Structure 1
Amino acid sequence: MDLFLKRIQSYIPDEFDAFKETLNQKMYQGLRVNTSKISKDKFIRIFKDIEGQTPFCENGFYISKSLGNHPFHMSGLYYLQEPSAMSVVECLDIKEEDVVLDLCAAPGGKSSQIAARLKNGFLVSNEIDAKRCKILLSNMERMGFMNVAITNVKPETLCSAFPSCFDKVLVDAPCSGEGMMKKHSMAYQEWSYENILYCQKRQLDILEQAYKALRKDGILVYSTCTYAKEENEEVIVSFLKKHKDMQLIDIERNFGRSGLKTDGLDEKKVRRIFPMDHGEGHFVAKLKKIEGDIKYLPILKKEKIDPLAQKFLKEQLNWLYPYMHTVSNSIFCMNREFVDFKKVKCIRQGLYCGDIIKKRFEPSHAFYMNNDLENIKHKINLDFEQANQFIHGLSLDLKCDKGYVATCFEGYPFGFGKSDGNVIKNKIPKGLRLMEGQSLYGKK
C-alpha cells in the first residue's frame, strides 16, 4: 500500500493529505431515480430519504441509509449506485432512437441509466461472467425495461457478429478498482502494480472489440473506477495511436476535474473524480469514430404468437405491443423489431411476458414490473402492512377481480398474485421475497 499512496501523491501532491483523510471516511452512497417509471419531481415529493443532488447526474441523489428493502426500490423506482458512477452515461449523450452497446454491463447501473433514456432505441447489455449476468438481468427486470437484450458472451464474439452497428458504445472496463477500496476489501488486499498492468492489457483488448462495433460518427465512452494512470490516460493514448480514425472529444461536463498530464493527450478533454470531488472515484473519456461503415443489426421476421398468449395479453393490457417473439414456450414483446442474435448467447430480449404451460398461460414477474405502467389493466394498491406481508410470500385476504393482478405500493407494482375474488395468492418468485426477520423499510 505504500506504493499505492506514493503513486496518488505523485498525481495530486497538493491534495494528498486530503485524499488520505478520505480513506477513513464513510463511502459516498447514492441512488438514481428511474425516470422511465417516475419523474424526478414526483420522486422528490414522495421519497423523504434523499440528502441532496449529486453533481454527476441530474437524477442522482446522496443517501446515508440502507434502502435496498424499501418498497420503492423493489418497484424499480430507483437504482442504488455510487454517485460518481452516475457520471459516465451522462457523457454518452443518449438519444431516444439510439442503438447502444454496454459491453461490460453487470451489475446494471449504467445499463439501466442508458435504457431509461431510450424510447424506440435499443440497448444490448453484455456481461461475460454468467453469475454477474444473472444479476444484470434481475436489475433490468426490476427497473422495467423492454427494448433491451442481455447477452452473455466474450466482447470479441459480440462485436465481431455486429460490426459497425451501434451509435453509442460504453466500455466501463474491468479495472484494479482503486476507487472502490472502501467498498470492496479485496481491491485493497490484492492491489499490486502487476495487476494494474494486467488490467491495462485487458482494457486495450476490450477497446479493440468496441471499436469494431461502433458505427461511423458513433460515440465510444471509456470509463474505470480506478485512479491508476496506466488504466486511464495511458490506455486512451495507446488506443488513439492505433486508431487514427478515432478522435478524443471534449466531454463538456464540469464534474470532477481534468485528467493527469500525459504525453499525446489533451487532459482537459477527459474527466477524473477523486473523493474530494464528492464521489469515490472514476475516470471518463469520450471518443468519436470519424471514418468507417454504418451497418444495422439483423432483424427477425415478424411472427404470430400462440392464441393462448394472445388472449392473456388482451385480458391484461390496455394495448398490445407491436412485436412478439416466442422462444420455446416463452413469450416476449417489444416496441421495435427483435434482433436476430444467431449464435450469440442472448439470455433475454424484450419484455418476458410468461410461458405456455399445459394449455394455459403463466405470466412472469417481469411482465408486471414493466415500466409501461398505464398499460397494466389489473392492479391493486396495498398499504404498508399488506405490502410487507405480500413481499414475504404470504397471501392476502382482499376482495378484487378474479385472475392475475399487479400488487402495488403507492401505485407502483412490486409483484403480482392470482385472485379468486376474495384471496390474492402470492406469485412473487421466492428468490425475490424477503426472508423471515427482514421487513420493508418504511413507516411501521
Structure 2
Amino acid sequence: MHSNVYLPQAFLDEMEAILPASLNMEDFISACQRPLRKSIRVNTLKITVEEFVKRAAEKGWELTQVPWCHEGFWIEADESVVPLGNTAEHMSGLFYIQEASSMMPVSALFKSDEDRFESVLDMAAAPGSKTTQIAANMSNEGVLVANEFSASRVKVLHANIERCGVRNAALSNFDGRVFGGWLPEQFEAVLIDAPCSGEGTVRKDADAMKNWNKESVISISDTQKDLIESAFHALKVGGVLVYSTCTLSVEENQQVCHHLKEKFGDAVEFDNLAELFTDADKAVTEEGFLHIFPQVYDCEGFFVARIRKLAATDAPQVKKRLGRFPFEKASQKVQDEVEKQLHKALEIALPNDSSVWLREKDVWLFPNALEPMLGEFRFSRMGIKIAETHKNGYRWQHQVATALATGKEAHSVELSVEDAREWFMGRDVRPNNQSGKGEVIVKLGDDVIGLGKWVGNRVKNGLPRELVRDKNLF
C-alpha cells in the first residue's frame, strides 16, 4: 500500500466536485493509495501477440488482457532475480513496459481497422511508449514524426525507438507550438499526450502531488490550449487528433477541448469513445471523451479525447530559416548498388517505401512519406542509418539488423544465453566452434539483437552505446 501518498485537501475538494455520481471519494482515495499493477505492451514489429503469450507462459509470467489494447497485458512475474527491464525479451525489443492507461490514446487514434495513416505526428513523444505503439500500428510504414521538447529526453526516445525496431520515424526537438505554423495540414493523424499536472500519477509516484496548486493547473491549461491549436493546424482536413493527459482536472481536459471547439467552430467534431472497448461507457463524458478515475479500471487517472478536423483553418504565418539541408537523395544507380551489396552481405532487402539518402560517408534510409517535409522543417534524426562507406564498399550498421532483418537470414550467428549477456553489456563474443568474416546478424534464439563483425572466431560488438547495459542480465 502507498498509504503515505500525498493528496492535498484542496485537490480532494476539486475531485469531489467533479466526481461522477456513480463514483465515491472513498474508492477514489483507496485507489490512489494502491500501487499500480505492472503492465506491458507486446511490440508487434518484433513478435506476434500469440507467440509472445506462449513465451510468457514458458517463463511463468501471468498475463491479463488490457481491455483497450489487444497488445497490452497486466503482468505478474517474479522479478526478485531479474527485473522485467533486464530480461532478454525486453532487451530484444519484444515488449515495452507501459502503464495500461497510457496505451489508450493510441488505441483511440487507431480506433478501427479502417484507420490507416500515412503521416502521423506524436507531439510530445518521450520516452517513446506511445511512439513505438504508433509505429507498430503503422506496421513501420508511412512516416511518424516524434517530437520532444526536452533535449535530454530525445536520447531516451531514440534509444527506445532503436530497441523496438522502428524505422519510419523522424525525430525533432521543438516546443510543440511550432508545428501549426511550420507544417500546416501535413498530418493525417496527430497525438498530443500533453504535459500536465500529473494528478493521475499518484499510484506510481506517492509524491506527485507535493507541489500541486490550482494556479499551476490553470497555467498548464493555457499551454495545453496553445498546443492543441498547433496540433489542429498541423492536421489535414479529414484527419484525426487525439488529445490525452494523465491528469483529472476539467481545466486541463474538457475545457482544453472545448477551447478548440470555440476557436474553430464547425471545423471541430468530437468523436464518441463509448464503444472503444467493453465498459468504456463507464468513463465516457457527455461529449464522448474518456475521463478515467483510477478506481474505474484499476489504472492511472487519465483523459482521452478523439477529435476530427472537418474544414481547413488559417495557420499562423512564420518566417523560415532552415539553412542548407545536409543530405542528398541517392541516385537510382547508387540506391541499386546499396541494395545489391546489402543483400549480398546479409540477405536483407530494403523496403520499397523508403529511399537511400547520403551525408558525406553516411548512408541513411528515409521513409518516402517524409520527403514533403524535408524542405519545410528541421529534424534531429530521420529514418535509420544503414551504412558508412569505405574504400571496399559499405560498413553496415546496427539498425540494418534490428529494423530490417527477419531473423531468417543465413548469414547470422545464434548466441548462447551467456554470450548474449556479454553482448548486451557491449562486449565481443566468441561463439563456440564458429568463425567467419564480414558483418553478421546476431541472434538470441530467433530474435535479432544486433549486428556484429567476424574477426576470426570472435564477433566484434556493434551495439550502440545507448543500448549497452553495465550489469548482468537475465
TM-score by length of 1: 0.89
Aligned to 1:45: 54
1:352-431 map, 5 Å: 352-356=385-389, 361-370=394-403, 372-373=405-406, 378-398=411-431, 399-431=434-466
1:194-205 map, 5 Å: 194-205=215-226
Contact 2:349–2:404 (Cα < 8 Å) also in 1? no
* Cα RMSD for the two superposed structures: 2.7
Contact 2:264–2:313 (Cα < 8 Å) also in 1? no
CA–CA distance in structure 2, aligned partners of residues 408 and 359 of structure 1: 26
Amino acid at match of 2:385: Y
The 3-state SS of whatever aligns with 2:221 is: helix
Aligned to 1:325: 357
Aligned to 2:321: none
CA–CA distance in structure 2, aligned partners of residues 86 and 53 of structure 1: 12
Aligned to 2:5: none
CA–CA distance in structure 1, aligned partners of residues 259 and 179 of structure 2: 23
CA–CA distance in structure 2, aligned partners of residues 122 and 146 of structure 1: 9
Report which stretch shifted further, 11-20 or 82-91: 11-20
Q: Does 1:177 align with 2:194?
A: no
Amino acid at match of 1:247: E
Aligned to 2:293: 274
1:28-427 map, 5 Å: 28-47=37-56, 48=59, 49-64=61-76, 65=79, 66-93=83-110, 95-119=115-139, 120-184=141-205, 187-244=208-265, 245-251=267-273, 252-254=275-277, 256-257=280-281, 266-267=286-287, 269-276=288-295, 277-292=297-312, 302-304=329-331, 305=334, 312-314=341-343, 315-322=345-352, 323-334=355-366, 336-339=368-371, 340-342=373-375, 344-356=377-389, 361-370=394-403, 372-373=405-406, 378-398=411-431, 399-427=434-462
Q: What displacement does 1:29 show?
A: 1.8
After superposition, give the CA deviation of every residue in 1:310-338 in whole Å (9 maximum; x if it has no partner): 56523223323441112343211145354
After superposition, give the CA deviation of every residue in 1:387-412 in whole Å (9 maximum; x if it has no partner): 11222233222214311122212211
TM-score by length of 2: 0.84
The 3-state SS of whatever aligns with 2:368 is: coil
CA–CA distance in structure 2, aligned partners of residues 325 and 87 of structure 1: 35
CA–CA distance in structure 2, aligned partners of residues 328 and 154 of structure 1: 30
Question: Percent identity of the aligned residues?
Answer: 31
Amino acid at match of 2:464: P
Contact 1:151–1:344 (Cα < 8 Å) also in 2? no
Mark the CA change 1:22 to 1:172 in structure 2 (over 3 Å): closer, same or farther. Answer: same
Mark the CA change 1:194 to 1:357 in structure 2 (over 3 Å): closer, same or farther. Answer: farther
The 3-state SS of whatever aligns with 2:63 is: coil
Report which stretch shifted further, 168-177 or 349-358: 349-358
The 3-state SS of whatever aligns with 2:208 is: helix
Q: 1:11 aligns with which of 18, 26, 35?
A: 18
Contact 2:36–2:300 (Cα < 8 Å) also in 1? yes
Q: 1:2 aligns with which of 3, 9, 12?
A: 9
After superposition, give the CA deviation of every residue in 1:157-176 in whole Å (9 maximum; x if it has no partner): 33322211211111110000
The 3-state SS of whatever aligns with 1:51 is: strand
After superposition, give the CA deviation of every residue in 1:171-215 in whole Å (9 maximum; x if it has no partner): 110000111123345632221111111110010000110111111
CA–CA distance in structure 2, aligned partners of residues 355 and 186 of structure 1: 47
After superposition, give the CA deviation of every residue in 1:2-47 in whole Å (9 maximum; x if it has no partner): 1112222223364211121123221222110111211100010112
Contact 2:356–2:365 (Cα < 8 Å) also in 1? yes
Contact 1:133–1:152 (Cα < 8 Å) also in 2? yes
CA–CA distance in structure 2, aligned partners of residues 380 and 194 of structure 1: 58
After superposition, give the CA deviation of every residue in 1:42-77 in whole Å (9 maximum; x if it has no partner): 010112324311122111011244311111111111
CA–CA distance in structure 1, aligned partners of residues 248 and 137 of structure 2: 29
Contact 1:215–1:294 (Cα < 8 Å) also in 2? no
Unaligned runs of 5+ in 1: none
CA–CA distance in structure 2, aligned partners of residues 160 and 357 of structure 1: 41
CA–CA distance in structure 1, aligned partners of residues 313 and 253 of structure 2: 28
Amino acid at match of 2:311: E
4+ runs deviating over 6 angstroms: none
CA–CA distance in structure 2, aligned partners of residues 19 and 50 of structure 1: 27
CA–CA distance in structure 2, aligned partners of residues 97 and 288 of structure 1: 14
Aligned to 2:318: none
Q: What displacement does 1:434 show?
A: 2.1
Mark the CA change 1:216 to 1:96 in structure 2 (over 3 Å): closer, same or farther. Answer: closer
CA–CA distance in structure 2, aligned partners of residues 42 and 160 of structure 1: 44
CA–CA distance in structure 2, aligned partners of residues 306 and 61 of structure 1: 41
Amino acid at match of 1:287: I
Contact 2:91–2:163 (Cα < 8 Å) also in 1? yes
Q: What displacement does 1:349 show?
A: 1.5
Q: What displacement does 1:149 show?
A: 1.0
CA–CA distance in structure 1, aligned partners of residues 252 and 383 of structure 2: 35
Amino acid at match of 1:89: V
CA–CA distance in structure 2, aligned partners of residues 50 and 134 of structure 1: 32
CA–CA distance in structure 2, aligned partners of residues 154 and 327 of structure 1: 27
Report which stretch shifted further, 4-13 or 166-175: 4-13
Mark the CA change 1:387 to 1:353 in structure 2 (over 3 Å): closer, same or farther. Answer: same
Amino acid at match of 1:11: I
The 3-state SS of whatever aligns with 2:260 is: helix
Unaligned runs of 5+ in 2: 1-7, 316-324
The 3-state SS of whatever aligns with 2:30 is: helix
CA–CA distance in structure 2, aligned partners of residues 96 and 421 of structure 1: 47
